[in-house]
Amino acid sequence: MTVSPPEHHELRYVGRSVTRREGAHKLTGRSRYIDDMHVEGALTGRTIRTTIAAGRVRDIRFPEGFPWNEFTIVTAKDLPVNEVALITNEQPALVDSIVRHHQEAILLIAHEDPGLVQEAARAIEIVYEKDPGIFEMEQGRVLKDLAIRHGNTEQAFSGENIVFEGEYATGAQEHVYIEPNGFIAWWENETVVLHGSNQCPYYVHKAVKNAFALERDDQVRVVQETTGGGFGGKEEFPSMVAIHTALLSRKAGGKPVRLIYDRAEDMACSTKRHPSITRIRTACTREGVFKGIEVTFHIDGGAYLTLSPVVLSRGLLHSGGPYRWPAAKMDGLCWFTNSPPYGAFRGFGAPQSEFAIERHLDRLSQLLGICPIELRRKNFLQRGDVLPTSQIVEEDPELDHIVDRALELSDYRAKQQSSPCGSGHGMGLSVFYHGTGFTGSGEVYLSSVVALEAQSDGTVEIQVSSTEIGQGTETVFAQIAAEGLGINIEQIRFRKPETGAVPDSGPTVASRTCSIVGGLVEKAARQMREKLNGRDVAEAAAMDSLRAEARYEPPPGLVWNEETYQGCAYGAYSWGCNVAEIVLDSVTAELRVEKMWGIYDIGCVINPVLAVGQVEGGMAQGAGWATCEDVVLREGLMQNTRVTNYIIPTSADGPDMVVEFVEHHNPIGAFGSKGVGELPMDGPPAAIANAVAHATGQNIVSIPIRPEDILK
Amino acid sequence: MTIRMTINGREYETDAHPMMPLLDVLRESCRLTGTKYGCGEGECGACTVIMNDELVMSCMVPVMQAGGAEIETVEGLARVAENGEEILHPVQQAFLECGGAQCGICTPGMVMAGVHHLRHPDRAPGGLREALEGNLCRCTGYSAIFRAMEQAAKTGHPE
Amino acid sequence: MIASNPVRYRAYVPVGVEEALEQKAAIENLLPIAGGTEVMVLLNEGLLAPCPVQSLHQLAGDWRGIRESDGSLIIGALATYTDVRHHPVVCERYPLLVESAKVTGALQIQNRGTLVGNIVNGSPAADTVPALFVYEANIRLLSSSGERVISINEFYTGYRKTILRSDELISEIILPAPPDGARHYYRKVGTRAAQAISKVVVAGIRTDHETKLAWGSVGPTTLRALKTEKAIAGGASPEEAAVVLMEELAPMDDIRSTRNYRLAVSRNLVMDFIHKTKE
């Protein structure tokens, strides 16, 4: 790890590696995850799932030999409103009759004997009428389409310009958070209490309130327990688990019910990263100056819409890469298939489309006979350039500088020169960017609120629904609050997220927590500092209740038109460059990513150790997705639902990593910070693929890159 | 049959079924929930504990094979100083400082593997990468964990 | 988080070899458990049909040792991968066993899993079995009615099928001394650097006079490539040996890899073997 020393000498906490606040709890085993929660008398629940991908349920049979009258059993009929509320409400919580994908929930059972539940669940027989099903993109209906138009592409693709086309594909990716999904729920009269593993307590709240047709917000209480990884996998999916748990509990007369998935169930039924196919056509001069781009970005949405429209949107918006395109025609299409719905996963579409453009540019550079790095340099976005959505780049990304640092640290040129194409050793590079926060008007709609409350014991409590899922929310918010308030960080407390008890600061997604929600924490802290007016917290809190709230307001000029897809898609962008060094085994074609370098501009680095943790973790996930992570689906059923056969990197595989930050501060983020969580996912696949293309002389256009595809 | 074990120096007795995985017994009968479930197939290492000075995955041990065993779990590593302050084990302390724990779910198992490696480095001639290869981490990419282990090796161990 | 009902697995814990063999003969479908690294996976995942189980851990005194006897090395049925990996005689004389034990699971699994468990499981992807094939190990099978010693080369009869009778337990592996001056070769091709199930695994030894080569994951059982061995011993070029080998392997497509890759990589491996074991 190399971290450039932060230039915030005047600041006490921001820019310093304050140790993780809940770290000691996690390291001693005291942190309570959902499965660690002991609730006396809780029933164990289990979900019965479809074993076909398309068709109808004809009959459900309960064979003899089990005391079925002792079981709590629920079906779709027991749910007042059979919907999982998200963007639309089309996805049912339980299959009533029509089956749209494998491993869809049909029926739930619960019993006080966990062993009996497991046996009974396997004994239940479902009779189906099976339909053929659709398992490939571009064969069924379009769930959502989007278009971006900019400049005159017809002109760009005419005349002397060099036109070059390519098609690029990326596979699905499983999150493999090490803690599977789970909830525990019970009813207290007309109120349901839900504890669980999740990223977004208010999403769960909305879905549960809708499903049970509850009138008041306080009839649903969602408490986030320590969450063992999310990466997007616990953004929308937990709403489903929560509805199921609450339903079983209601049928059981309000008794507590535990519904905690095992690994195989979690992997088989939960969301994955959307597979993609990107077709790119570019026009440029013989010297490599970009004139126009046409992109068709296809993603597989699976059997329900869920969050696919926003994944499609972010993927499409990033599909041109950090380059100046005078003309652009970009179309995004999300396709229906009978696969389990694909969902949120770190990067949200951008890693898919940025892989495509970054591979395309290396291939184009070969055609032009120009060094791939020089080709990029000629076209990097600079201050004042216009993005395909007509957004004007207001900061200078200084991508030249970022790339220079990556080349220097990795000794790129010398290494590349000493390994000729096809030698089995290669260096590859990618340049990428990522918009901070929700797309377009998303942040305005969210209208997030945070609160700080002074306590009579002299502490100040942070109240947000933004969750700690490993990325360091509690710690960076404490740093920001202490800095803004001008008090000791030991005086800051973090309220465990619980709907009703904390304001809705929006979901914990979209690289928004540190920068955008953190910005609100900073604002609230400064307000409270004024109210304190030099008094000590305990003294002031004793006199009157001291509370500060901050609500999101869009910065002036941030205008977005959802109809035309024009305007400012994001309030800020983070930038980065990766270099990958790979070695291919000459006998087996096994691919080893030896080392990766990452230079990132995430604005102000609030906590270097945590920020490095985010980018290194993202690089490793990106490397895994590019090399070994392969979701094998047959007729919409995942075949490798174990960690023994869905392969993520071990400590023996992980590349050595070198990370450096450059800081271009963002005027709207907390202390100048920008998004960090997703950016590191965008670059590794293309950097690795470009390196493999060099090392093998083969035309790599899809990931994962399997030895099976190289050694023929 | 009643099975007796010593866990973190304390005697425990359980009437759990002999085929119950040690993991479930630790978590449910002994209420020691620091040791985590991650996969149930001996692959992720979240359930790693030290049994009779050997590193094992507790989901792979039928509890009847743990009868009479000395078991160490993550709960037994830190100690309390005279002034009541908690003193973390050097491996825990280094993880805290170096960012070795993020979401924390692999952490107890990872820490136990780390502690065992410092005691018996000869068991993994391939060094850290080999010593920790049975413990999957999805958050860190392992680099911060390597840095923590290097630091812990320098600060020494009080055992 | 166990997806089974443990009460469906009645447990027997014999305290001596004789008792173990009596139980094995008397109780139908009795499933022996040594380190538990296979059985517990099935149990946790809800994939083990209810059956009585027999835990052999009380037999460690009889069966866990590794000892020399008349120039052979005897590995007890309860010796773990760790025991094997770190045993001085194994390290000196049977490097392929050390290599293969090292790449079987991670340390935690190596501390519990046994070499005999790897044999009896019958998976064609077993990492240590090719090494045992080329060392021409014998295995001792005990039952309450007697014993027999058979070559591991004759142990497998088909995919996950062995000649082991329902009343028998394997008590030990007998390794004859390897030929003098043997050059050793082991290679596991997996999906990642650690904790992988093999796509292809090969073990080979070569002297100036003879060659032995055993392959895993390229057929229904681990297999010896006898024609290829003969060709190599007869001075075939790497390319010629590779052609012969292709006739001896019968790999399939599965979720880990493809038939084509397995063939291509086996071709490369045999050529690499010939280069690396030249002298």
Structure-block tokens of residue A227: 């969450």
pLDDT tops 50 at residue A5:
no
| Each residue's pLDDT tens digit, A578-627 | 999 999 999 999 999 999 999 999 999 999 999 999 999 999 999 999 99
Which residue matches tokens 């005279």? B82
What mean pLDDT do residues A562-578 have?
96
Integer Rg of chain C from CA: 19
Q: What is the pLDDT of residue C194?
A: 86
Q: What is the CATH number of domain A276-440+566-711?
A: 3.30.365.10
The answer to whether domain A41-52+54-132+176-269 and domain A442-551 are alike in fold is: yes
Q: Closest CB to B141: pick one of A17, A262, A657.
A: A657
B132 → chain A, closest CA residue: A651
CB A178 within 8 A of CB B136: yes
Q: H or E element: which one contains C103?
A: none
Distances C152 to A241, A406, C76, C120, C158 between C-alpha atoms, Å? 50, 55, 15, 11, 13
B77 → chain A, closest CA residue: A28
CA torsion, ordered C2, C7, C9, C14, to nearest 10 deg: 110
- Ranges A142-156, A239-253, A662-676, C142-156: which has the least confidence: A662-676
What mean pLDDT do residues B31-51 have?
98
| Each residue's pLDDT tens digit, C225-273 | 999 999 999 999 999 999 999 999 999 999 999 999 999 999 999 999 9
Q: List, in sequence order, the alpha helices (H) in chain B.
A: 22-24, 90-98, 107-119, 128-131, 143-155
For residues A115 and A1, the model is more confident at A115
Q: Do A587 and C264 touch (CB under 8 A)?
A: no
Q: List, in sequence order, the alpha helices (H) in B4-157.
A: 22-24, 90-98, 107-119, 128-131, 143-155
Q: What is the pLDDT of residue A545?
A: 82
Q: What is the pLDDT of residue A239?
A: 98
Number of H helices, E strands in chain B: 5, 7
Q: Do A118 and C4 touch (CB under 8 A)?
A: yes
C52 → chain B, closest CA residue: B19
**Looking at CA atoms only, how far is residue A469 from chain B in angstroms?**
5
pLDDT tops 80 at residue A7:
no
| Chain B hits for C7, Cβ within 8 Å | 17
3-state SS, A504-542, equals CCCCCCCCCHHHHHHHHHHHHHHHHHHHHCCCCHHHHHH
Q: What is the pLDDT of residue C28?
A: 97
Interface of C with B in 31-90 (CB under 8 A): 33, 35-37, 39-41, 43-45, 53, 55, 57, 82, 86
Vertex C235: Cα angle to C233 and C239 (nearest 5): 110
| Chain C hits for A652, Cβ within 8 Å | 192-194
| Chain C hits for A632, Cβ within 8 Å | 255
| Each residue's pLDDT tens digit, C49-92 | 999 999 999 999 999 999 999 999 999 999 999 999 999 999 99
Query: Environment class of residue B13 by beta-carbon count within 10 Å: exposed (0-12), middle (13-18) or buried (19+)?
Result: exposed
Integer Rg of chain B from CA: 15
Q: Do A592 and C193 touch (CB under 8 A)?
A: yes
Which residue matches tokens 């079906």? A75
Q: Name which of A28, A38, A112 to mutate to probe chain B: the one with the most chain B Cβ atoms within 10 A of its Cβ.
A: A28
Q: Name which of C108, C109, C121, C195 to mutate to probe chain B: the one with the most chain B Cβ atoms within 10 A of its Cβ.
A: C108
Q: Name which of B60, B110, B116, B132 to mutate to probe chain C: the one with the most chain C Cβ atoms within 10 A of its Cβ.
A: B60
Q: What is the pLDDT of residue B159?
A: 53
Q: Do C260 and A708 touch (CB under 8 A)?
A: yes
Beta bridge partners of C200: C189
**pLDDT confidence bin for A665, thresholds 50/70/90:** confident
- Would you call C272 an interface residue with chain A, using a CB distance cutoff of 8 Å? yes
Q: Closest CB to C3: pick one of A118, A644, A653.
A: A118
- Would you call C6 an interface residue with chain A, using a CB distance cutoff of 8 Å? yes
Nearest to C144 by CA among C11, C12, C14, C10: C14
A705 → chain C, closest CA residue: C191
pLDDT tops 90 at residue B71:
yes
| Each residue's pLDDT tens digit, A378-417 | 999 999 999 999 999 999 999 999 999 999 999 999 999 9
Query: Is it true that domain A442-551 has CATH number 3.30.365.10?
Result: yes
pLDDT tops 50 at residue A2:
no
- Would you call A39 an interface residue with chain C, using a CB distance cutoff of 8 Å? no
What count of CB pairs under 8 Å joins A to C? 79
Any chains having at least 3 CB pairs less than 8 A from chain B are: A, C
**pLDDT confidence bin for C1, thresholds 50/70/90:** confident
Q: Which amino acid is at B53?
A: D
Fold of the B79-155 domain: DNA polymerase; domain 1 (1.10.150)
Q: Which CATH class is domain B2-76?
A: alpha beta
Q: What is the pLDDT of residue A3?
A: 45
Q: For chain A, give every domain's residue range.
A: 41-52+54-132+176-269, 276-440+566-711, 442-551
Whether omega before A704 lies within 30 degrees of 0, making that bond cis, reads: yes
Q: Closest CB to B147: pick one of A1, A28, A35.
A: A1
- Would you call C15 an interface residue with chain B, using a CB distance cutoff of 8 Å? no
Q: What is the largest CA-CA distance in chain C?
A: 60
Interface of C with A in 100-139 (CB under 8 A): 106
Instruction: For CA atoms A199, A202, A206, A211, give the dihedral sign.
Output: positive
Output the average pLDDT for chain A: 96
**pLDDT confidence bin for A9, thresholds 50/70/90:** low
The 3-state DSSP class for residue C141 equals: strand
Q: Do A613 and B139 touch (CB under 8 A)?
A: yes
Alpha-carbon gap, residue A226 to A25, rounded angstroms: 10
How long is chain A? 712
Give CB contacts under 8 A, 24+ apart, made by A87-93.
A87/A305, A87/A306, A87/A307, A87/A309, A87/A310, A88/A305, A89/A210, A90/A304, A90/A305, A91/A240, A91/A304, A91/A305, A91/A306, A91/A341, A93/A211, A93/A240, A93/A243, A93/A244, A93/A247
- Would you call C196 an interface residue with chain A, using a CB distance cutoff of 8 Å? yes
| Chain C hits for B37, Cβ within 8 Å | 1
Q: Do C109 and B62 touch (CB under 8 A)?
A: no
Q: Do B36 and A179 touch (CB under 8 A)?
A: yes
Q: Do C192 and A592 touch (CB under 8 A)?
A: no
Q: Do A651 and B129 touch (CB under 8 A)?
A: yes
This model of the complex carries an ipTM of: 0.98
Q: What is the largest CA-CA distance in chain B?
A: 45
CB A637 within 8 A of CB A376: no
Q: Do B143 and A1 touch (CB under 8 A)?
A: yes
Which residue matches tokens 């037994």? B76
In chain B, CATH 1.10.150.120 sits at: 79-155
Q: Do A228 and B142 touch (CB under 8 A)?
A: no
How far from the centroid of its chain's Cα atoms is residue A149's Cα? 27
Q: What is the pLDDT of residue A557?
A: 84
**Looking at CA atoms only, how far is residue A193 from chain C in angstroms?**
23
CB A684 within 8 A of CB A626: yes
Q: Do B96 and A20 touch (CB under 8 A)?
A: yes
Q: Do B38 and A27 touch (CB under 8 A)?
A: no
Q: Do A657 and B41 touch (CB under 8 A)?
A: no
Sequence-ordered list of residues with C-beta below 8 angstroms from that of A449, at least 6 positions apart, any chain: A503, A504, A505, A520, A549, A550, A551, A552
Interface of C with B in 120-149 (CB under 8 A): none
Alpha-carbon gap, residue A591 to A586, rounded angstroms: 10
Any chains having at least 3 CB pairs less than 8 A from chain C are: A, B
**Cβ count near A131 (within 10 Å):** 15
Q: Which amino acid is at C32?
A: P
Angle, helices A684-696/A350-368, rounded to nearest 10 degrees:
30
Single pTM value for the model: 0.97
Distances A710 to A102, A179, A586, C140 between C-alpha atoms, Å? 32, 34, 11, 44
Q: Do B60 and C43 touch (CB under 8 A)?
A: no
**pLDDT confidence bin for B157, thresholds 50/70/90:** low
Q: Closest CB to A653: pick one of C189, C193, C257.
A: C193
- Would you call C260 an interface residue with chain A, using a CB distance cutoff of 8 Å? yes
What count of CB pairs under 8 Å joins B to C? 105
What mean pLDDT do residues B52-66 have?
98
Distances A302 to A101, A130, A368, B20 between C-alpha atoms, Å? 8, 18, 39, 38
**Looking at CA atoms only, how far is residue A263 from chain B in angstroms?**
5
- Strand pairing category for B79-80 and B54-57: unpaired
Integer Rg of chain A from CA: 26
Q: Do A588 and C189 touch (CB under 8 A)?
A: yes
- Would you call A213 an interface residue with chain C, using a CB distance cutoff of 8 Å? no
| Each residue's pLDDT tens digit, A447-504 | 999 999 999 999 999 999 999 999 999 999 999 999 999 999 999 999 999 999 999 9
Q: Do C105 and B123 touch (CB under 8 A)?
A: no
Structure-block tokens of residue A417: 């020169």
Any chains having at least 3 CB pairs less than 8 A from chain A are: B, C
Q: What is the pLDDT of residue A8?
A: 52
pLDDT tops 70 at residue B158:
no
pLDDT tops 80 at residue C13:
yes
Vertex A211: Cα angle to A207 and A213 (nearest 5): 115
C51 → chain B, closest CA residue: B19
Q: Do A229 and B43 touch (CB under 8 A)?
A: no
Nearest to A648 by CA among B134, C192, B47: C192
Alpha-carbon gap, residue B130 to C19, rounded angstroms: 39
Nearest to A703 by CA among A352, A442, A205, A322: A352
In chain B, CATH 3.10.20.30 sits at: 2-76
Q: What is the DSSP string of A444-498?
A: HHH--EEEEEE-TTS-EEEE-S---SSS-HHHHHHHHHHHHHTS-GGGEEEPPPB
| Chain C hits for B61, Cβ within 8 Å | 36, 40, 112
**pLDDT confidence bin for A4, thresholds 50/70/90:** very low
Which CATH architecture best describes the domain A41-52+54-132+176-269? 2-Layer Sandwich (3.30)
CB C132 within 8 A of CB C38: no
